[in-house]
Structure 1
Amino acid sequence: MSSLDILAGTWTTAGAADAGADDDRSPHDFRTRVEVAAKAGFTGVGIGYLDLLEAEKTYGHNDIKAMLADNGIKHFEIEMLLNWFVTDERRTFADEQRAIMFRAAEAIGARHVKVGGDFSGGDFESDHMAAEFQALCRNAADAGTRVAFEPMPFVNVKTPQQALEFVEKADHPAGGVLLDIWHIARAGLDVTSVASIPARWIADIELDDAPLQFEGDMIADTFNGRRLPGEGELDVQGFVDAIKSTGYDGIWGVEILSTEYRKRPIEEAVPAAYRATAQYLQ
């Protein structure tokens, strides 16, 4: 096995899960996903909220922790907390999710919890986001984990630079920005622009690929149109080299959301994702 630390993001092992739907649970048991990922060479795995609830019900926190350790999985990721900063009725459910995610993160030992922006779009108020993010980071630190904010071109915080406006203002060691090549490219940015981001604020990296042009809805594209690294037209190596130039020394993730990828058996798809990602990190 390679000594590379690569994390299989939630959707990389989820098989034919209906990503983006209200019920986005994987048809595969979490133990199966962990074992397939470990066999492929991954040292990290991610899990989505609904699958986390299923795994908690089936195994419990202690058994999940043991399952990861027994398979050599050192890095555990939980996603995706939304609406942690809103002031409307969505906040109630978000706070319930927040408590469950951090409780699991503490009991199992999560590297980080992924958090996102407002899918209804609009603008963001930097001071408000900073205050809420700082509070979120304190919760994460209390649970022995971190939070990784993922900017996306179709939410209120569209670019890494916008995210840094409040992440730097919050100035908490338990928080940073997640940089996904797909979201950066679809935001119209040069993927090598990440070289200007201070390494201390880079919480996580996600690799994938895509055609330069796409048709239709961008949110549909993010759930269905991605490709394995090297199978699209994005400058994956340029992105990796730009990240490395910052001094970032953390793990690398691969996140594949693709109609075609979901059709493949996970025993075939997950090793393919590992090989496609590892070629850029050697």
Structure 2
Amino acid sequence: MRADLLATCWTSAGNAAPQRGNEESSFPILERVEELARAGWNGIGLVNADLQRAKRELGYPALRTAVDRAGLEYREVEILDNWWTVGEERKRADRLRDELFEAAAELGAQRIKVMSCLDASPPPHERFVRELRELSRRAADAGVVLALEPMPFSSNVATLEAGVRLLEEVDHSAAGLTIDTWHVFRAGTPYERIPEIVPLEFVAVVELNDCAEEPVGSLWADTVDNRRLPGEGDASVAEFVRWVAATGFQGPWGVEIISTELRALPLRDALEVSARTTREVIDAGLQLRSN
């Protein structure tokens, strides 16, 4: 059977990238839905800027109908940031939170992706745990799972180990992790340790991509401009798949390609090549797992 694939928001976004301008895709949302279905994808991810534009111009019911008809069973929305802050920054974060929860409910999303802290001075640990636990309670009431993403440039959740320790303290079934090839590789975590580090119940989202052995530019530039298609870099993505599968994870496999090269392709070409290369790597990884 073919692996189920979810195109995370940036894979189908065209000329858009994280924290660059308003983050809106250069492609109309219905075109993205149609081309994802044409290329055989099974799920879609959307960033809040695109969600809000779709709400204004199309309406969530119409978008939900289009996604349903396209057979895109898996849906995720992103990304909730600054949920641990206070004051005016917290007011903005709460508006973002409410918008993402509304979009998830309207579109039938299963997951909401959540940021860890990138600021040089992270919040008090106790506050971070308390706020994530409260956010998890709201997610459980809404029937969705939170996917917190460890990132090597995060000031408080840089590794899978740190993410697991945090979730153990939060102690809520609606809180999980995003396990992304680029972030795990750049954090220096050996793939074979993934099953011992991360219990299956903590695996909320898995994202595949590739990269050069060493960062091209800064870590931030590398992650938003220089990711590669699975199997076309040095991150041994088939081995990543092998060891993620060893946790018991069965999909859907997210594909998050954020790169200048992919952004330059026509949408159909970008989605076709992303699906093809990812499925080849997944097949290779699962074959390694079965041997």
Compute the TM-score of the two structures, normalised by the length of structure 1. 0.95
Contact in 1 for aligned 2:2/2:279 (Cα 8 Å)? no
Contact 1:44 1:76 in 2 (8 A): yes
The one-character-per-residue Cα deviations of 1:42-99 (angstroms, maximum 9, x if unpaired) are 1101111101100111221211111111000001110111111123532111100001
Offset at 1:3? 4.1
Structure-2-length-normalised TM-score: 0.92
Q: CA deviation at 1:22?
A: 3.3
Unaligned runs of 5+ in 1: none
User: What residue in structure 2 maps to residue 270 of structure 1?
Assistant: 271
**Separation (CA, whole Å) in 1 of partners of 2:71 and 2:57:** 21
Contact 2:84 2:123 in 1 (8 A): no
Is the Cα contact below 8 Å between 1:113 and 1:145 reproduced in 2?
yes
For the pair 1:99 / 2:98, whether they are aligned, the reply is yes
Partner of 2:185: 185
CA 1:242–1:124: 2 relative to 1, 3 Å: farther
1:120-269 equivalences in 2 (<5 Å): 120-123=119-122, 125-156=124-155, 157-196=157-196, 197-269=198-270
Counterpart code for 1:167 = L
Aligned equivalents of 2:255 and 2:75: distance in 1?
Answer: 13
Report deviation, 1:124. Answer: 5.5
Residue 161 of structure 1: how far off its partner (Å): 1.0
3-state SS of the aligned residue for 1:24? Answer: coil
Task: Please give the alpha-carbon distance, in whole angstroms, between the structure 1 residues aligned to 2:17 and 2:84.
Answer: 26
SS of the residue 1:185 aligns to: helix
Task: Report the Cα offset of residue 228 of structure 1.
Answer: 0.2
- Please give the per-residue CA displacement for 1:11-48, whole angstroms capped at 9, x wherever unaligned: 10001114331311111111111111111111101111
- Whole-Å separation in 2 of the counterparts to 1:81 and 1:108: 17
In 1, Cα distance between the equivalents of 2:281 and 2:231?
A: 9
- Identify which range, 71-80 or 208-217, moves more after superposition: 208-217
**Matched-pair contact (CA < 8 Å) for 1:181–1:191:** no
The 2-side partners of 1:243 and 1:45 are apart by 21
Between the aligned partners of 1:179 and 1:125, the Cα distance in structure 2 is 24
* SS of match in other structure, 2:213: coil
Task: List structure 1 segments (4+ residues) > 4 angstroms apart after TM superposition.
Answer: none
Q: How far has the Cα of 1:125 moved from its partner?
A: 4.2
Give the conservation status (yes or no) of the 8 Å contact 1:78–1:112. Answer: yes
Task: Number of aligned residue pairs: give it.
Answer: 281
Identity across the alignment (%): 36
Structure 2: distance between partners of 1:138 and 1:108:
20
- Deviation, 1:224, is 0.2
Is 1:61–2:42 an aligned residue pair? no
The residue aligned with 1:82 is 81
Match of 2:44 in 1: 45
- The separation in 1 between residues aligned to 2:253 and 2:272, in whole angstroms, is 15
Q: Following the alignment from structure 2 to structure 1, what is the Cα–Cα distance between the partners of residues 123 and 238?
A: 32
1:254–1:277 Cα contact (<8 Å) kept: yes
CA contact (8 A) 2:178 2:205 kept: yes
Q: CA shift at 1:182, angstroms? A: 0.1
Counterpart of 1:29, as a letter, is: P
SS in 1 for 2:281: coil
Q: CA deviation at 1:193?
A: 2.5
The range that moved more, 119-128 or 200-209, is: 119-128
Aligned equivalents of 1:110, 1:137: Cα separation in 2: 15
**How far 1:123 moved relative to its partner?**
4.3
* Secondary structure class of the residue paired with 2:282: coil
Query: Secondary structure in 2 aligned to 1:280?
Result: helix
Distance 2:17 2:158 in 1: 24
Aligned counterparts of 1:256 and 1:42: Cα–Cα separation in 2 = 15
Local SS of the residue matching 1:177: strand
List per-residue Cα deviations over 1:95-135 (Å, max 9, x = no partner): 00001110111121111010011222334644322211111
Q: Name whichever of 124-133 and 155-164 sits farther off.
A: 124-133
Task: Check whether the contact 2:3–2:251 (CA below 8 A) recurs between aligned residues.
Answer: no
On the 8 A contact 2:178/2:206 being kept in 1, the answer is yes
